[in-house]
């Protein structure tokens, strides 16, 4: 397994101890009760519909993943070679748990599944994504999304 604890020491240390931006105090919004929340997924795995343009180095934008898309047609064009993709080859839910989210809506754990989900490409530093992320928040509100689950890769 390419688990953190099995990476070569110097590379693991470089990854874990990389310099991180200071985002300041943690913001906090009290959500609706979970079983009333309409939830969207946001991935940073560089996922997109097969027909969409692939992510390129430095991409700070996102791709929209509509809820009625055939998720088995999602492809991954993340820049990094440093994470496992064999799990994703076998099951899209390993990194984009759309089916699991739908099941949790059916079980009543969450209120409902949003009609649109999103993916960024996480090799780009989040600070570069800031204006786009802030604009995305407005889109999410307009779409009546009550909460988002952020899923890395």
Partner 1 sequence: MSGLAHYLEDEGIPTTLIALIRKHAEEIKPPRALAVPFELGRPLGAPNEPDFQRRVLRDCLELLEAESGPTLEDFPDDAPGADVDQEGWACPVNFAAPVQDMSDEELLTQTLLQEVSLLKPWYEESKQTRGGRTNYGISGKAPEEIPAFFASLVVNREDTPSPIDDKPAPLAFKQMADDMRYYYMEAAIARPDGRVTDLDIGNWLWGETTLGKVLVEIRDWAMESENEGFKALATTAMVPTHQRHRTKHG
x/- track of binding to partner 1 for residues 2-41 (CB under 8 A): xxx-xxx--x---xxx--xx-xx-xxxxxx-xx--x-x--
Residues in region 118-147 near partner 1 by CB under 8 A: 120, 122-123, 125-127, 129-130, 133-134, 136-138, 140-141, 145-147
Q: What is residue 5's DSSP assignment?
A: G
CB of 30 to partner 1, least distance (A): 7
Residue found by looking up tokens 């604009």 in the block: 135
- Tell me the closest approach of the beta carbon of residue 125 to partner 1, in angstroms: 8
SS3 at position 76:
strand
- The span from the CA of 84 to the CA of 64, in Å, is 23
Nearest Cα to Cα of residue 147 among 51, 11, 29: 29
Q: Cβ contacts of residue 124 below 8 Å, gap of 6+? A: 58, 59, 60
Answer for which of 49, 67, 69, 77 binds partner 1 (CB under 8 A) is: 77
**Is position 60 an interface residue for partner 1 (rule: CB under 8 A)?**
no
Q: Residues for the chain: how many in total?
A: 153
**Nearest-approach distance from CB 112 to partner 1, in angstroms:** 13
């Amino acid at each position: 397994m390419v688990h953190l604890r099995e990476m070569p020491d110097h590379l693991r240390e470089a990854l874990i101890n990389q310099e991180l931006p200071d985002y300041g105090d943690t913001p906090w919004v009290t959500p609706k009760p979970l079983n009333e929340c309409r939830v969207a997924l946001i991935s940073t795995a560089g996922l997109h519909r097969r027909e969409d343009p692939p992510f390129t180095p430095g991409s700070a934008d996102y791709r929209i993943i509509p809820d009625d898309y055939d998720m088995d047609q999602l492809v991954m064009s993340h820049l990094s070679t440093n994470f496992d993709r064999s799990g994703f080859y076998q099951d899209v839910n390993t990194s984009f748990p759309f089916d699991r989210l739908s099941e949790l809506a059916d079980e009543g754990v969450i209120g409902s599944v949003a009609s649109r989900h999103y993916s960024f490409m996480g090799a780009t530093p989040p600070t570069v994504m800031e204006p786009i992320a802030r604009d995305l928040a407005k889109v999410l509100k307009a779409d009546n999304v009550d909460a988002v689950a952020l899923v890395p890769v």
